[in-house]
Chain A
Amino acid sequence: MINCESRSVVVIGGGPAGLSAAIAAFDAGAKDVLVLERDTRLGGILNQCIHNGFGLTLFKSELTGPEYAARLIDMASERGIECRLNTTVVSVAPDKTITCVSEEGVFSITADAIVLTCGCRERPRGAIGIAGARCAGVYTAGTAQKLVNIMGYMAGRECVILGSGDIGLIMARRMTLQGAKVRAVLEIMPRASGLMRNVVQCLNDYDIPLMTSHTVVDVLSQGGRVSGVVAAKVDNDMRPIAGSEFLLPCDTLLLSVGLIPETELAREAGIGLHRVTGGAEVDDTLMSNIDGIFCAGNMLHVHDLADYACLESEVAGKRAAEYAINGGVTRGAFTSVECGDGIRYAVPMKILSSGSGSITFTARPSAEYALGRICIEADGEEIYSKREAGIRPATMLRYVLNSAQSDKLRSASRICIKVRE
């Protein structure tokens, strides 16, 4: 083993979140930032997202995934940030020793601070237990996207898409543009789970039916490949309604049934995970329960916009740099953030009483509200509130509190975020 480098800030994962964290860490004064990326190129999942619609907040223009990645890659290289490709981190120890594997061998790196930005993965067929034939032609939407956009092969000619997550919606359009027939997008919930704009631009514009409250109850095969799926309507408890089944002939079933933060490294490092997000549990500096290990991007919780993942990671990168430069922080008492009416989860999960500066909240609604008011309360007193129209679970909420508001939270012994109608 080739021992043992030491670095101030190591960022694990070179997608948009990781690059943003590295750039922010550098700008905050950490000079020997290192990014570790297992893929052959930087940019993460953006590389296969060749559609546009990225960057409206961060770059004030509408970019494709690769264009967006290129901007971040340029910003990192302008700063001379070292990014090591083809390098897979296989373990992170609580003492912040990182072990990684590449074609050059096995390396260990000790870091003063680590930012985990490993992204997320797609929920596979087995996780939702779709019964039926175990044949070729069942892919997650992201895998199909890689086959089509990176490798240049058709994942199928006649598709049914289960789940209306954003990648599924994007792939419905993509497959159509490539000459495939997309029979339908089936969604078990009564509403689409992806962004509204994707429903309009990817389904409606191409006359692809979105069948809400429907699911796949059986997969049929012929000659080793999918030959059709049996769809059914579901009741209010999302159970298939007997007698409502119908056949959709197809050679491919694409799944867009949820994303899960990639937490294998975090778990091994002993990082506490959150029951709802599946990602790490963090305080308002985005530090996990392990001192000096920060988490951001889709590894922390699944974002619907790359911009928000990047903005979040900037906080993690900056805080990681501070941690490294100051030789650690002492974390004192904290208050947990409670999720009240209408909020499924909020990040951060804890507010440190010792901190300073502005706190950013992101929150995922649990229900739809035509009109509502998001309130953040400290000891029952409303310290932040914002009116929002069209609150829905598919759209993440994000609020930047000013220093005065943030300080009020720091001294509170109860913090709650909720929706008021």
Chain B
Amino acid sequence: MKDVIIIGAGVCGCAIADALGEYGCNVAVVERASDVACGATKANSGIVHGGFDATAGTLKAKFNALGNPMFDELSKQLDFPFRRNGAYVLAFDRAGIDGLEALLERGRANGIKDLERVDGDTVRLRNPHVSKSVTAALYCPSSGIVSPYEMTIALAERANMRGAEFIFNTGVTAISRRGSVMTVDCTGGKSYAARMVINCAGVHADEVAAAAGVHDFTIRGRRGEYYLLDKTQSYLTDATLFQLPTSLGKGVLVAPTVHGNVLVGPTALDTDDKDGVATTAAGLEEAMSKGRLSVPSISARSAITQFVGVRAHCDKDDFIIGMSSLQGFYNVAGIESPGLTSAPAIARYVAAEVAAYLSLKRKTDFITVRKGIPCFAAMSDEERAELIASDSRYGKIVCRCECVTEGEIIDSIMRPLGARDIDGVKRRTRAGMGRCQSGFCSPTVIQLIADTLGVPVQSVTKCGAGSYAVTGRI
């Protein structure tokens, strides 16, 4: 029997599994997808929010303020890309200037001290491609950017090093309690027992709660569509550029990614299809035209891909964190933005609560450092030569756009919780993330996955069950 079963291997599930490792807690994470970070965690803006936006007194405000400062140390320990690039909230008219004032007040109430009011010319002086129609902005230097899936993979790997077990391709269908034992029934007839269950099922958290007989909240899917622009466009902005919401609706952001691309989006549209991540012409058009209000020179012509993330919007309009009406069934639900930013702080809080409930003591020695896959692209010639001397497979460049080597790809498959499909390799190594979008490297990546796992090429998938790369032999 496990101490804790966590349902869902998004950033919340993985961060909590990791934090519980500090208590020597015996954890299993059950995930219906084939990999970690396959839900909202892989498709979002990747902003480590400053914390001025959430309404004071909410859990969103609390955990955002606590989470943001944790990223410097966490990213170093776990070896994932993070950078404080600063953010501007742009106002476009006089009414907007009042709106910025209100935002500043809210930020102060949330304990965010480093906010600065700047006029339009100052914004443009610092960010020359920002639109002339921007009248003023609120600047938040502590806002950052992170690679959300690399962060989550890192958290999962350290959780795994600390003893957490990950069970993929397994969906939870029912949760029940008998005496002090929780039973989690899953697809494929599998069943697991634990003393406690934590619901981190993202956009499906209400359904998972319902499967435990807990019906006190509902989650609505809210789609956000994005454009991702080529690295050649990185000159457009180094800061994150938000738009102040207006009577015309919520704006979109234009922001750099930690890897030097530019992100434009997200739109916001409620949906009944919680797993629907297909892009739409109308949504993409809206993202681009709204993005142009901030930076008029962005263009769909420099796009390399488009994607959709689905927010887990809760009818309570705040995070739900705590033991549910069913003793032993703990919810971490409705974790929409700033959920990524908040996740490390949520995890710390939840782990302490769980430890108290299960009477576990915090250990004094636990693994803190997780080393990522060596990143050939970021190395100097000397470092590259040394790496190749250690293993010649690092001398074979497979993905030419992002300069990813065979050694890195094999590492991504071989390491604990390694990649099992093409997208898993891509999220871990960036092979296929460049401007040709895997046109050149995908046949090689498919072959490497098959060879390394010892499976036929025909069984290699893009992203889990059914998504076969090829349909058979010629």
Q: When the two chains form the complex, which single residue of B278, B392, B401, B465 contacts A131, counting CB atoms closer than 8 Å?
A: B278
Tell me the nearest residue of chain B to A217, going by C-beta. Answer: B281
Chain-B contact segment, one of A103-111, A191-199, A334-342: A103-111
Flag if B385 contacts A1 (CB, 8 Å): yes
Chain-A contact segment, one of B1-9, B114-122, B195-203, B440-448: B440-448
Digit string of A286-310 for contact with B (CB within 8 Å is 1, else 0)?
A: 0000000000000000000000000
Q: When the two chains form the complex, which single residue of B400, B439, B443 contacts A122, counting CB atoms closer than 8 Å?
A: B439
Which residues of chain A in 82-129 are interfacial with respect to chain B, using CB atoms and an 8 Å cutoff?
86, 88, 90, 99, 101-106, 108, 121-122, 124-127, 129
B residues in contact with A178, CB < 8 Å: 474
User: CA–CA, A153 to B458, complex, Å?
Assistant: 8
Chain-A contact segment, one of B167-175, B302-310, B357-365: B302-310
A residues in contact with B305, CB < 8 Å: 124-126
Interface residue A156 (Cβ < 8 Å from any Cβ of B): yes
B residues in contact with A225, CB < 8 Å: 466-468
Tell me the nearest residue of chain B to A122, going by C-beta. Answer: B439
A residues in contact with B436, CB < 8 Å: 121-122, 124
Flag if A129 contacts B467 (CB, 8 Å): no
Flag if A143 contacts B443 (CB, 8 Å): yes
Interface residue A154 (Cβ < 8 Å from any Cβ of B): yes
Digit string of B399-441 for contact with A (CB within 8 Å is 1, else 0)?
A: 0110100000000000000000000000000000001111110
Q: How distant is A170 from chain B, measured CB to nearest CB, in Å? A: 15
Which residues of chain B in 278-320 are interfacial with respect to chain A, using CB atoms and an 8 Å cutoff?
278-281, 283-284, 300-301, 303-308
Q: When the two chains form the complex, which single residue of B389, B464, B470 contacts A154, counting CB atoms closer than 8 Å?
A: B470
Which residues of chain A in 123-166 are interfacial with respect to chain B, using CB atoms and an 8 Å cutoff?
124-127, 129, 131-136, 139-140, 142-143, 146-148, 150-157
User: CA–CA, A178 to B472, complex, Å?
Assistant: 11
Tell me the nearest residue of chain A to B395, going by C-beta. Answer: A103
Interface residue A37 (Cβ < 8 Å from any Cβ of B): no
Flag if B473 contacts A152 (CB, 8 Å): yes
Flag if A125 contacts B437 (CB, 8 Å): yes
B residues in contact with A106, CB < 8 Å: 381, 384-385, 388
Tell me the nearest residue of chain B to A108, going by C-beta. Answer: B381
Interface residue A219 (Cβ < 8 Å from any Cβ of B): yes
Flag if A156 contacts B471 (CB, 8 Å): yes
A residues in contact with B472, CB < 8 Å: 153-154, 157
A residues in contact with B283, CB < 8 Å: 131
Flag if A136 contacts B385 (CB, 8 Å): no
User: CA–CA, A251 to B466, complex, Å?
Assistant: 12
Interface residue A357 (Cβ < 8 Å from any Cβ of B): no
Flag if B395 contacts A101 (CB, 8 Å): yes
B residues in contact with A150, CB < 8 Å: 443
Flag if A154 contacts B388 (CB, 8 Å): no
A residues in contact with B446, CB < 8 Å: 147, 151
User: CA–CA, A122 to B301, complex, Å?
Assistant: 15
Interface residue A223 (Cβ < 8 Å from any Cβ of B): yes
User: CA–CA, A121 to B278, complex, Å?
Assistant: 26
Contact count band on B? 35 or more
A residues in contact with B392, CB < 8 Å: 103-104
Interface residue B140 (Cβ < 8 Å from any Cβ of A): no
Q: When the two chains form the complex, which single residue of B278, B401, B442, B470 contacts A221, counting CB atoms closer than 8 Å?
A: B278
Q: When the two chains form the complex, which single residue of B400, B463, B467 contacts A88, counting CB atoms closer than 8 Å?
A: B400
B residues in contact with A224, CB < 8 Å: 461-468
Q: How distant is A238 from chain B, measured CB to nearest CB, in Å? A: 13
Digit string of B378-390 for contact with A (CB within 8 Å is 1, else 0)?
A: 0001101100110
Interface residue A364 (Cβ < 8 Å from any Cβ of B): no
User: CA–CA, A134 to B276, complex, Å?
Assistant: 10
Flag if B304 contacts A127 (CB, 8 Å): yes
User: CA–CA, A2 to B382, complex, Å?
Assistant: 10
Digit string of B23-37 for contact with A (CB within 8 Å is 1, else 0)?
A: 000000000000000
A residues in contact with B381, CB < 8 Å: 1, 99, 106, 108
Interface residue B469 (Cβ < 8 Å from any Cβ of A): yes
Q: In terms of DSSP, what is the predominant structure of the interface of chain A?
A: mixed
Interface residue B397 (Cβ < 8 Å from any Cβ of A): yes
Flag if B395 contacts A104 (CB, 8 Å): yes
Interface residue A318 (Cβ < 8 Å from any Cβ of B): no
User: CA–CA, A132 to B443, complex, Å?
Assistant: 23
Interface residue A350 (Cβ < 8 Å from any Cβ of B): no
Interface residue A392 (Cβ < 8 Å from any Cβ of B): no
Flag if B474 contacts A154 (CB, 8 Å): yes
Interface residue A38 (Cβ < 8 Å from any Cβ of B): yes
User: CA–CA, A80 to B278, complex, Å?
Assistant: 54
Flag if B385 contacts A143 (CB, 8 Å): no
User: CA–CA, A137 to B436, complex, Å?
Assistant: 16
Q: How distant is B426 from chain A, measured CB to nearest CB, in Å? A: 12
Q: How distant is B7 from chain A, measured CB to nearest CB, in Å? A: 22
Digit string of A219-241 for contact with B (CB within 8 Å is 1, else 0)?
A: 10101110000000000000010
B residues in contact with A136, CB < 8 Å: 461-463, 467-469
B residues in contact with A101, CB < 8 Å: 384, 388, 395, 397
Q: How distant is A263 from chain B, measured CB to nearest CB, in Å? A: 10
User: CA–CA, A147 to B444, complex, Å?
Assistant: 9
Interface residue B396 (Cβ < 8 Å from any Cβ of A): yes
Tell me the nearest residue of chain A to B388, going by C-beta. Answer: A105
User: CA–CA, A105 to B283, complex, Å?
Assistant: 47
Beyond A104-B395, A126-B303, A146-B443, is A131–B468 a contact (Cβ under 8 Å)? Answer: no
B residues in contact with A126, CB < 8 Å: 228, 303-306, 437
Digit string of B45-63 for contact with A (CB within 8 Å is 1, else 0)?
A: 0000000000000000000
Q: When the two chains form the complex, which single residue of B279, B384, B463, B465 contacts A132, counting CB atoms closer than 8 Å?
A: B279
Beyond A105-B395, A129-B284, is A148–B389 a contact (Cβ under 8 Å)? Answer: no
User: CA–CA, A129 to B392, complex, Å?
Assistant: 38
Flag if A134 contacts B279 (CB, 8 Å): yes
Flag if A103 contacts B400 (CB, 8 Å): no
Which residues of chain A in 228-282 are interfacial with respect to chain B, using CB atoms and an 8 Å cutoff?
240, 251-252, 264
Flag if A131 contacts B466 (CB, 8 Å): no
User: CA–CA, A224 to B304, complex, Å?
Assistant: 21
Interface residue B136 (Cβ < 8 Å from any Cβ of A): no
Q: When the two chains form the complex, which single residue of B278, B389, B401, B435 contacts A134, counting CB atoms closer than 8 Å?
A: B278
Interface residue B457 (Cβ < 8 Å from any Cβ of A): yes
Q: How distant is A226 from chain B, measured CB to nearest CB, in Å? A: 10
Beyond A129-B300, A135-B462, is A151–B439 a contact (Cβ under 8 Å)? Answer: no
Name B's A-contacting residues (CB within 8 A). Answer: 227-228, 277-281, 283-284, 300-301, 303-308, 381-382, 384-385, 388-389, 392-393, 395-397, 400-401, 403, 435-440, 442-443, 446-447, 457-458, 461-474
Report 28 cross-chain contacts, Cβ distance below 8 Å, ordered by A residue: A1-B382, A99-B381, A102-B395, A103-B395, A105-B385, A105-B395, A106-B384, A121-B439, A124-B304, A124-B435, A124-B438, A125-B437, A126-B304, A126-B305, A126-B437, A129-B300, A131-B279, A131-B284, A139-B442, A140-B439, A143-B442, A147-B470, A154-B473, A221-B278, A224-B462, A224-B464, A224-B465, A224-B468
Using A106-B381, A106-B384, A134-B277 as known contacts, list a sample of 17 further A-B pairs with CB atoms less than 8 Å apart, ordered by residue number in A: A38-B397, A38-B400, A103-B393, A105-B389, A106-B388, A125-B305, A136-B463, A143-B439, A147-B446, A147-B470, A151-B443, A154-B471, A154-B474, A156-B470, A224-B463, A224-B468, A252-B471
Name A's B-contacting residues (CB within 8 A). Answer: 1-2, 38, 86, 88, 90, 99, 101-106, 108, 121-122, 124-127, 129, 131-136, 139-140, 142-143, 146-148, 150-157, 178, 217-219, 221, 223-225, 240, 251-252, 264
